[in-house]
Structure formats: C-alpha cells, structure tokens
C-alpha cells in the first residue's frame, strides 16, 4: 500500500462456530460463491505484504481453501482472540499488523484502506474500526471518555448502561507491534467466557497513555459477521444486492433483481439481459449482449457474446461460443462445448461433447462423448450410445452430416463428412463420407389386414 510498508494481515479463522451446528468450520461455509474466508483473503491479497492465517478446527481443509501465498499458524487450544493473535507473533514481522475476522464478508477494501492510512497518519498504537448501529446487541461496545477511545467491553460482560452504547467494535484493527505484544502479554481471562480477549489490549494501551484511534465505517453493514445460518442467509442477501447493483451500473439489465441470484465470482458483459429466477454460480463468465431466460441455472461456465439461453436451461462447466442458441429446457453437463452459431434445442442433453459451428441438435436428443462437426443436423430423438456397461466410447460426426430422427449411434463410431443416416436407424459401423446408412428392419405392408381384423372381431 502507498506509504505503508511491511504490512501484515492476520486473519483469525480458528473459531469453533458452534452456532452453525455444522461438521465444517464456519469460515468454509459459502456466501455468494465464495467461502466466508475468501472475502478477507481477497482484501488481504490486494493490500498486504504478508498474510497470516490462524487456523484451528479442520486446519487442513482451511489451508486448502486459502490456497497459496499464505502463512499458517495453528491455535490448538481455542482460548480467545487474544490467544489466537499471540500464536502469530513469530511470523508477523516488524511492520503494522491488520487483524481481520474470518467471517465478515461485507468489509470493503476502501474502508480498510482508510483505516490503515489513518493509523499511519496519526502514529497510533492501535486503530480500531467501529460502526454505529441501531441494534448493537451481541457486539462489543466502544467505551470513550471525552471522545477518546478508552476500551471495549464485550456484550455479555457489559453493564446495562454500556449496553445502550450504539458504537460497536467490528473486530478489525490496525496495530503497532511494538506496544502490541507487551500489552497482549498482560491480557487475562477473568471474563464470563474465560478467554483472552484481543479487545482488552485497547484498554491496556489507553491506560498506558498510548494513542488509540478509531475509524467509523460509513456503512454499518460492513461490521456484520456470521455466527449462525440465519445470519449467513441475511448477509448473502445483502451481498447479492451489492453484486446486482454493480452489474446494473456496468450495463447489465436485470429484469427482476429480487429473484436473480449471481455469485460474487461471476463476470457479465454489457447489454446482457437476465430474466427472473436466473442463477449464475461459480467462475461463470457471460459475454456482451447475451440473453438468459427465466429459470436458467449456469455454473462454472463460459459464454461468448450474443448467446441466447432460453428459459429453464442448466449448464455446468460448459463453454458456449458467440451467437449460439440454447434451449429451452436443455442440459449441458461438464466438458460440453458449443461452437459459434450452433443450436441446442429443447430437451437436449450434452455431456463431454463438442458441437461445431452452425451445427443443430434441435430437440429430444442425447449427445455424449462426441465430436460433432460444422453444420451437422441431428434429428429429434437421436442418441449417442456411448457406454457399453464398462467403458465410455466416442462418436465422431463429420461436417455437414445429416442424422435422421430417432437414430441410435452405437460408439465407437465415425460418420463421415456429408454422410446421411436414415431415420430410425441403429448404426453400429462407421459410415464413409457422402454415404447413406440405414439400419432398420424392412417395412412390411399387409394390404386389407385392418378390414379382415374388423370382420373377425364382429364374428366373435
């Protein structure tokens, strides 16, 4: 960060999260496409010189979620936030230390930048981020005397008068390590929880005459944390609102924001339109001028420009190139690739298949483990029989081939360029380019049969 060097971010992610009632650590629960831990990590990666993560429960899982570029320390005994920070002392360096909770996803980079710059400008021993809220219950209260911060009292330890204070601690701090560590060594556990509170450092520093500063966030929502699944849902709703506001500002039309769900990890180009009940998840990218119809769900997929997704389509780990049309009611399973201007119609399922430019699979077909060339037409009811009960096999269909309706293509199989397959065929052998293949029983016509049958029934 400009003007601040040697900045260490310590993210506290060792809490039990008992109120989540989960087998998984709280920081791994997902909110709008990211684990809770992903939000402070994103800010830390933008601002910090060093990132330290304090882990506890399921430490290996948290390490995997955090990824590279992070130093880990383990808090084997969960004895409070002060004890957690103390575990990181050996790896923090001599520069300013920013402490973040692992479960506050709405904190913004701009607010944290303001906190760090204020800390550096004032030369404070500690600078805490506060918020003024209407309902402070459950949060630590900031204690002031003649406007100066004197300490923080946790909600469960506060007196009735202190509980009336509306300025709360957000558990976000910028700290000078030189006075921090001696002050932290003086913290005791004489509280209702029997824990070593990091908040007690503030009072210790203030009583010693050290400068303690506070920066108040303009948006109190940034202070909100997650303690249970109700709060997880409430914060997800706030985050979705922010995401949709940003997208609309960037030129995306969202017909009904109240019923549209877009993860924080999604990217959308301008002039794209999202209809009601659309869900976009994971590392999904939509290009410009796309239309996504009502009820469609797209996860971890990449769509080019001018792609039309008609209502009620499901895409997972798929690629769709410029100008293609999908649906309604189509299903693109992982590793499906739809080429430019191709058409995948209603009730079509693709799996691990590549559809060439301008090819058409209009309706009621299954195409799995296949390579379909350019300008191919696949008739209704066609299936690639790719599984023999043991292994999967590939079907290759050459450019401009025509597959008649209700055909079964038994892989491994190659159908040559420009070849035709007659409707209702079961094709088990390769078809040369330009050939016609018909694999069905010969038609039998018995003239007068219907009349004779009727006559026989009348006699009975």
Tokens 């004032």 correspond to 122
Question: What whole-number distance in Å separates Cα of residue 29 and Cα of residue 39?
Answer: 12
User: C-alpha distances in angstroms, 174 versus 50, 382, 431?
Assistant: 14, 64, 71
Question: What whole-number distance in Å separates Cα of residue 147 and Cα of residue 343?
Answer: 67
Q: Could you tell me the two tokens for 121? A: 């400008």
Q: Could you tell me the two tokens for 243? A: 């995401």
Catalytic-role residue among 83, 275, 331, 363: 363
Question: What whole-number distance in Å separates Cα of residue 234 and Cα of residue 394?
Answer: 47
CB proximity list for 28: less than 8 A, separation 6 or greater:
35, 36, 37, 58, 61, 62, 65
- H/E element holding 132? strand 126-132
- Give the largest Cα separation in the chain, rounded: 115
Instruction: Give ∠ CA 85-86-92 in degrees, rounded to 5.
Output: 75
Tokens 């824990």 correspond to 195
Structure letter (DSSP) for residue 443: P
Of 379, 385, 369, the closest CA to residue 401 belongs to: 379
Q: What are phi and psi of 221, to 5 degrees?
A: -60, -25
Alpha helices in 50-187 (DSSP H): 59-66, 81-87, 109-122, 177-185
Structure letter (DSSP) for residue 36: T
Q: Which is it for strands 279-281 and 261-262: parallel, antiparallel or unpaired?
A: parallel
Of 233, 270, 214, 223, the closest CA to residue 20 belongs to: 233
**Residue 363 bears catalytic tag:** yes
Question: What whole-number distance in Å separates Cα of residue 108 and Cα of residue 113?
Answer: 9
Active site residues: 363
């Amino acid at each position: 960060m400009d003007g601040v060097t040697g900045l260490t971010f310590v993210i506290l992610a060792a809490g039990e999260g008992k109120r989540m009632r989960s087998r998984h650590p709280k920081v791994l629960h997902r909110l709008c496409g990211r684990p809770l831990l992903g939000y402070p990590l994103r800010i830390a990666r933008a601002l910090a010189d060093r990132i330290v993560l304090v882990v506890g429960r399921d430490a290996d899982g948290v390490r995997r979620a955090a990824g590279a570029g992070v130093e880990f320390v383990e808090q084997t005994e969960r004895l409070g936030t002060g004890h957690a920070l103390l575990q990181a002392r050996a790896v923090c360096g001599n520069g300013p230390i920013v402490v973040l909770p692992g479960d506050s996803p709405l904190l913004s980079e701009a607010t944290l930048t303001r906190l760090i710059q204020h800390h550096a400008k004032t030369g404070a021993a500690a600078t805490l981020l506060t918020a003024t809220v209407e309902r402070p219950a459950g949060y630590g209260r900031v204690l002031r005397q003649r406007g100066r911060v004197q300490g923080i009292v946790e909600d469960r330890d506060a007196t009735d008068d202190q509980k009336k204070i509306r300025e709360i601690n957000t558990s976000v701090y910028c700290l000078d390590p030189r006075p921090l560590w001696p002050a932290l060594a003086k913290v005791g556990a004489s509280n209702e929880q029997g824990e070593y509170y990091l908040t007690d450092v503030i009072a210790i520093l203030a009583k010693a005459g050290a400068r303690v500063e506070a920066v108040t966030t303009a948006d109190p929502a940034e202070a909100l944390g997650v303690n249970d699944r109700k709060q997880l849902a409430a914060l997800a709703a706030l985050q979705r609102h922010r995401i949709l506001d940003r997208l609309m500002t960037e030129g995306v039309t969202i017909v009904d924001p109240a019923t549209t769900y877009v993860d924080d990890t999604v990217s959308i180009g301008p002039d794209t339109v999202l209809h009601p009940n659309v869900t976009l998840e994971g590392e999904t990218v939509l290009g410009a001028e796309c239309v996504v119809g009502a009820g469609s769900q797209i996860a971890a997929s990449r769509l080019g420009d001018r792609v039309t997704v008609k209502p009620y389509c499901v895409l997972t780990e798929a690629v769709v190139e410029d100008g293609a049309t999908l649906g309604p009611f189509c299903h693109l399973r992982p590793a499906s690739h739809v080429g430019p201007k191709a058409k995948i119609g209603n009730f079509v399922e693709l799996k691990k298949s590549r559809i060439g430019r301008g090819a058409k699979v209009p309706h009621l077909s299954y195409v799995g483990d296949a390579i379909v060339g350019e300008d191919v037409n696949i008739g209704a009811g066609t299936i690639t029989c790719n599984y023999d009960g043991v292994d999967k096999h590939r079907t290759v269909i050459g450019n401009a081939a025509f597959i008649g309706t209700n055909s079964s293509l038994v892989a491994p199989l190659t159908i040559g360029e420009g070849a035709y397959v007659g409707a209702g065929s079961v094709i088990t052998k390769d078809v040369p380019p330009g050939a016609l293949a018909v694999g069905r029983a010969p038609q039998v016509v018995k003239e007068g049969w219907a009349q004779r049958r009727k006559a026989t029934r009348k006699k009975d």
